[in-house]
Amino acid sequence: MTMARRGEVVKLERVLGGKDLGYLDALDAAGLHALREALSAILFDDAKPVLQRVATASKLLPVSLVAKVGERVFGATLCAQVTGLLAPSYALDLALRMSNPFLASVSAMIDPRSAGKVVAAIPADRIIAVAAVLIERGDFVTMARFVDYLSPATIGAVIESVANELHLLQIGAYVESRTKLRELIGQLALERTRKMLAALRGTDADRWLEALAIAEALDDESRGKLGDIAAELEPEVMRALIAVAKRHGVWESALMFADAMSEVGKRKFFALVHEATEATEAAEAGTLPEAWTPTAGSESFPGSLCRRCTFVRLVQATRSEFIMCTEPTLPKYGPQPVRACRRFVPA
Amino acid sequence: MATQRIDPLAKEPGLADAPAWLTALAPDDRATLLAAIETERARRATELRSAIDAALEHVPWLLRVALRKVLFP
């Protein structure tokens, strides 16, 4: 399951009351997103007349009482639904009277688009306090949903307050807007980026898959910076990435990550891939590139025999081209240039 | 004579236009989705009514009468 789909499943489960969504396996992330939007509108429209009256009635009571009743009686789901129907200044007044754990619960249920103005007006220290509760609950999806609605200064303050770099990674993996994700990564200090990538070494595959999902969403320049930082770290970090790429079949993502690196970074990465390949059985050679040959320019190794062979497949990455062999008994990515080959068949 | 199976989601106004992404779902899965929507709709309606009734218990009697008129005209 892709990270985008995983995020959509979590959000849709909340809309549909936490039921198992196995019957929606046929939908990809975009389909689940469209379904969630439609269902949120349907379910909200059903309740809107009553919720609107609740919003009107709340103005007849002192704001302190409404905040108290909202938190103790109404609960997070209903408060989340009513918020978008209140004047932003009134909703803000109510929110500031509620506890941080309750605001965290409301955040998980609210549609950020309907409460964007309220969220944006909440002081940074309250946002940080609520973020701390969400992190404690492991609710990175909710945090990611609000990144779009917070100012760069508030985002910076939240980043500062999050002590564990892997938590930042988990938030980043679920951010929907690529522009905001770039901003988020851009705000991360070099030292913290290093720590985040170094911490990946000792984690499970999920964290690496999240890191690759983030790398995919970035532009070439940002991705290249991340890649070069990873390449500068101890080789165990890259070895861990290569192991995940092999185990989970995410070579395309790993290749995209490597492709954006500087030549030095690429050489380190490919050397480790080669090392990993040598350690595997020959039978596995077909699933793991035996040797990567980084190239610059679209016409790499023009003199290679592969270029004239029927078994060649040219794999285009953003800045490099990889020569792949489709002959079943040979390694997919052999050392280049090839001068002689027993399986050569002219194209 | 062949009978045309009616898409259960056609009963749901918000999804009646059967957007392209819904075509990926098998008919049985669509029926399950419709049932899930109905269940959630009923759950939310009950929750809303219960929450309003409970909230009204927290306000003085006279105000409660006024609020009931606003909430349930």
Contact A17 B43 (CB under 8 A): yes
Domain assignment present for residue A274? The answer is: no
- Nearest one of A95, A117, A114, A116 to A106, comparing CA atoms: A95
Distance from CA of B28 to the nearest CA of A (A): 9
Length of chain A, in residues: 347
Supply the pLDDT for residue A291.
42
**What percent of chain A shows pLDDT beyond 90?**
31
ipTM: 0.78
- Measured between CA atoms, the residue of chain B closest to residue A22 is B29
User: Which pLDDT band holds residue A74 (cuts at 50, 70, 90)?
Assistant: confident
> What residues pair up with A346 in beta bridges, in sequence order?
A309
Supply the pLDDT for residue B4.
37
pLDDT of residue A298 exceeding 50 = no
Supply the pLDDT for residue A140.
92
pLDDT of residue A133 exceeding 90 = yes
- Measured between CA atoms, the residue of chain A closest to residue B25 is A26
Residue range B22-38: mean pLDDT, rounded: 85
Closest partner residue to A43 (CB to CB) among B29, B41, B57 is B41
Contact A27 B63 (CB under 8 A): no
Supply the pLDDT for residue A96.
96
Contact A73 B58 (CB under 8 A): yes
Classified as helix, coil or strand, A314 is strand
User: Could you tell me how many CB contacts below 8 A there are between chain A and chain B?
Assistant: 98
Closest partner residue to A31 (CB to CB) among B21, B37, B45 is B21
pTM: 0.73
Q: Which residues of A touch B19 (CB under 8 A)?
A: 34, 38
Scanning the structure block, which residue is given the tokens 């046929």?
A26
As a whole number of angstroms, the distance between CA A58 and CA B37 comes to 29
Residue range A112-132: mean pLDDT, rounded: 92
As a whole number of angstroms, the distance between CA A110 and CA A127 comes to 15
DSSP-derived secondary structure letter, A304: -
- Domain spans in chain B, listed from the N-terminal domain onward: 34-73
Supply φ then ψ for residue A137, to 5 degrees.
Answer: -85, -5
What total number of domains does chain A contain? Answer: 1
Supply the pLDDT for residue B18.
56
Asked which of A36-50, A73-87, A300-314 is least confident by mean pLDDT, the reply is A300-314
**What percent of chain A shows pLDDT beyond 70?**
89
Domain span at residue A40 reads 1-147
DSSP-derived secondary structure letter, A70: I
- Measured between CA atoms, the residue of chain A closest to residue B20 is A31
Supply the pLDDT for residue B58.
81
Tens of pLDDT along A28-40? 888 888 888 888 8
Supply the pLDDT for residue B72.
80
- Computed over every residue of chain A, the mean pLDDT equals 84
pLDDT of residue A160 exceeding 60 = yes
Residue range B29-35: mean pLDDT, rounded: 87
